[in-house]
């Protein structure tokens, strides 16, 4: 195969991420102990808060903690104490204390791809938090370039392609999120590979849309070896 530019997502593509947020949310629900709202209803309120706040504050565990604090202030049925809000923030802080759990098949697949193609790591979130996960993962050695942005939209993909001098027809975005990885990449005119993950964040889910680029779907990350 002609050498391609493989732009690869990080969270829930290379390593587990949303799993830890889900666990923090479970702790939050237990602490909230609402008398009538079920977890799914509490989650709907939190999703609404996150959808609004992410536009200005971005993503990451600390922002997630602040969003849970805001959700608590909206739903709490008892007097709110400063200690309550600090405890909620602690639920989120523990996310960053977790070891990075690499998804099965990722290291050997990256090792294979890096000898054949140009690899770029493209992720969004707080730069300090994302850099820490990259360092802990040990996977940074496979990538010739790393970019961390606040939002992965069509404009950010066009900018990446332009700044790195990539040929759009020979460039593929690989990731688990239709909203951030697949649809905006296709809209920007590059190709995309959808690698589904069972715990993809609900706000990253949407229907896959067509675009100028080509779309490929695989079952798991190691399947990339069959195509590249």
Domain residues for the domain of 22 are 18-97
Terminal-to-terminal C-alpha distance of the chain: 7
Percent above pLDDT 90 for the chain: 87
Q: Residue 47 sits in a domain of what CATH number?
A: 1.10.150
Q: Which band of pLDDT confidence, cut at 50, 70 and 90, is reported for residue 203?
A: confident
* Residues, the chain: 228
- The sheet carrying 118-124 orders its strands as 145-149, 118-124, 5-8, 171-175, 191-194, 215-217
Final residue belonging to a domain, choices 29, 62, 97: 97
Q: Enter the tokens of residue 55.
A: 């536009």
Over residues 162-175, the mean pLDDT reads: 97
pLDDT for position 25: 95
Q: Are residues 107 and 204 in the same domain?
A: yes
H helix runs in the chain, sequence order: 18-32, 39-57, 61-75, 82-93, 106-114, 127-137, 154-164, 183-187
What's the structural domain count of the chain? Answer: 2
| DSSP 3-state of 81 | coil
Binned at pLDDT 50, 70 and 90, residue 54 comes out as confident
pTM for this structure? Answer: 0.89
CATH number, domain with residue 146 = 3.40.50.1000
């Amino acid at each position: 195969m002609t050498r391609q530019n493989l732009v690869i997502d990080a969270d829930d593509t290379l390593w587990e991420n949303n799993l830890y947020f889900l666990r923090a949310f479970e702790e939050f629900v237990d602490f909230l102990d609402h008398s009538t709202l079920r977890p799914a209803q509490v989650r709907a309120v939190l999703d609404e808060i996150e959808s609004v706040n992410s536009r200005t504050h971005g993503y990451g565990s600390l922002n997630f903690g602040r969003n849970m604090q805001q959700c608590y202030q909206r739903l709490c049925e008892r007097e709110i104490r400063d200690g309550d809000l600090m405890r909620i923030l602690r639920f989120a802080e523990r996310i960053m204390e977790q070891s990075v759990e690499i998804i099965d098949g990722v290291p050997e697949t990256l090792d294979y791809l890096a000898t054949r193609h140009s690899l770029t790591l493209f992720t969004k979130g707080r730069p300090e938090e994302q850099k820490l996960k990259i360092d802990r993962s040990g996977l940074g050695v496979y990538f010739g370039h790393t970019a961390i942005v606040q939002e992965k939209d069509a404009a950010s993909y066009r900018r990446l392609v332009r700044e790195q001098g990539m040929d759009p027809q020979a460039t593929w975005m690989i990731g688990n999120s239709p909203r951030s990885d697949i649809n905006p990449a296709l809209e920007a005119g590059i190709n995309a590979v959808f690698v589904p993950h069972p715990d993809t964040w609900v706000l990253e889910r949407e229907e896959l849309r067509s675009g100028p680029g080509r779309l490929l779907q695989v079952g798991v990350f190691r399947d990339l070896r069959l195509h590249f």
